[in-house]
Amino acid sequence: MKQYWILLIIGFLGLGDVSCTSYKEKDNQKQDTPLRGEITISADESFKPIIDELVKVYESNNRGTQINVEYKPEADCVKDLWNDSIRMVISTIELTEPERLSVVDSLRTVVKQLAVARDAIAVIVNPRSSDSLFNMAEIKEILTGKNVKGLFPVFDGVKATSTVRYIMDSVLKGEKLTEKAVATRTSDSVINYVARTPLAVGFIGVSWIGNQDDREQLSFLKKVKIAHLESNDTPGKYILPLQANLYMKKYPMTRDLVYILKESHKGLGWGFGNFMSGEIGQLIFKRAYLMPGLKSFRLRPIQLNEDEK
């Protein structure tokens, strides 16, 4: 009988140990908070400059946090929606309600998405190029290989990137992309390729060349020219991808930057999402020449340094 009680007590102690471990594991899953912890997020590599800046400022303001960013083509970011080790995805993808519910059911978590800024696809040309004004019909001729001067497109990858997806879905709309299209590894590689190739026309996110307070981007602007595209609302007027033109959707190739958060508690992902949609985050988007998506702005007539044609 004495041995029975000893074994029973040991059994209870064992169960207690298992129970403690289980609760500890649950606590570890929720250990991160907006002010403390480490998470991994997946981001479209087209937006690397702006996301690097957002992460740097957030971590600087919250010393106990670490946000690890895996930069990928957009198609790989989409796959990460079903990866439970990736807490957040930042790209131009916005889920439909059935798609959102599919992620919720698969991962048993809460899924929130929000458009935090408006981006544009900038068109860049070689400094020696005589062509820097395009309407969308001429852009389509370049993309389909029908340009009489032999101009050809250059992308940050011919497959799976958000830029290529936008071109295929919103510009070509079923027409075939030319076999002359060139794929480079990254957006800065697009800039360098166009800089040394007179007939190349590059397509990149405006955040790579829009921030004139960034030394690297200023060096890019010495290598290439940003082309003017015909305005959506004024035929014959050619404009740059400036913030006012993005805000009013006058610039032809605009798209939203969206974050998709997979988090069932108010953790570090929740904190970073709030930061992007808050005052400081929106100002960072503005400084990077994206159009902040969640702040109201009053448009006033001013004299721009950029020469609109």
Question: What tens digit of pLDDT does each residue of 151-162 get?
Answer: 999 998 766 788
Query: pLDDT at position 25, please?
Result: 32
- Sequence-distant (≥ 6) Cβ neighbours of residue 234 within 8 angstroms: 250
Q: Is the dihedral of CA 107, 69, 295, 238 positive or negative?
A: negative
Average pLDDT over residues 302-306: 45
Please answer whether residues 41 and 81 qualify as being in contact, where contact means their C-beta atoms are separated by less than 8 angstroms.
no
Name the H helices within the chain: 2-29, 48-61, 74-79, 97-107, 136-144, 162-166, 187-196, 215-221, 243-247, 268-277, 279-287
**222 belongs to a structural domain:** yes
Query: Where is 253: in which H helix or E strand?
Result: none
| pLDDT (tens digit per residue) in 222-270 | 889 999 999 999 999 999 998 889 988 899 999 999 999 999 999 999 9
The DSSP letter of residue 133 is: E
* Residues 163 and 146 both lie in one domain: yes
Among the residue ranges 155-169, 206-220, 241-255, 294-308, the one predicted with the least confidence is 294-308
* Residues 108 and 224 both lie in one domain: no
Q: How far is CA 146 from CA 11, 21, 103, 134, 149, in A?
A: 79, 66, 42, 14, 9
| pLDDT (tens digit per residue) in 101-122 | 999 999 999 999 999 999 999 9
**170 belongs to a structural domain:** yes
* Residues 82 and 176 both lie in one domain: no
CA angle 7, 8, 13 (to 5 degrees): 95
User: Can you give the CATH number for the domain in which 200 is found?
Assistant: 3.40.190.10
Percentage, residues of the chain above pLDDT 90: 70
Chain centroid offset of residue 305 CA? 27
* Residues 123 and 81 both lie in one domain: no
**204 belongs to a structural domain:** yes
Average pLDDT over residues 169-188: 93
Q: How far is CA 182 from CA 1, 153, 178, 194, in A?
A: 82, 6, 9, 10
The token duo for 60 is 């600087």
Residue 305 clears pLDDT 80, i.e. is over it: no
**18 belongs to a structural domain:** no
Residue 301 clears pLDDT 60, i.e. is over it: no
Q: Whose CA is closest to 115, among 281, 265, 250?
A: 281
**143 belongs to a structural domain:** yes
Q: How far is CA 209 from CA 103, 226, 234, 263, in A?
A: 34, 9, 25, 33
**159 belongs to a structural domain:** yes
**302 belongs to a structural domain:** no
| pLDDT (tens digit per residue) in 12-67 | 334 343 333 333 334 445 589 999 999 999 999 889 989 999 999 999 999 999 99
* Residues 192 and 124 both lie in one domain: yes
Cβ count within 10 A of residue 17: 10
- Tell me the C-alpha distance between 173 and 186, whole Å: 24
* Residues 159 and 107 both lie in one domain: no
Q: Which of the listed residues 212, 228, 247 is the one where a domain comes to its end?
A: 247
Domain extent, residue 65, equals 31-118+254-292
Q: Whose CA is closest to 109, among 228, 237, 288, 270?
A: 270
State the total domains in the chain.
2
Q: Which long-range contacts (CB under 8 A, 24 or more apart) does 93-102 make?
A: 93/162, 93/258, 93/260, 94/256, 94/258, 95/260
The pLDDT confidence band at residue 145, using thresholds 50, 70 and 90, is very high
**305 belongs to a structural domain:** no
* Residues 112 and 202 both lie in one domain: no
> Left (φ > 0), alpha (ψ -120 to 50) or beta: where does 23 sit?
alpha
Residue type, 131: D
Q: Whose CA is closest to 166, among 40, 245, 75?
A: 75
* Residues 113 and 125 both lie in one domain: no
* Residues 239 and 275 both lie in one domain: no
Q: Whose CA is closest to 91, among 74, 69, 71, 67?
A: 74
* Residues 129 and 112 both lie in one domain: no
* Residues 140 and 243 both lie in one domain: yes
Average pLDDT over residues 284-301: 73
* Residues 176 and 81 both lie in one domain: no
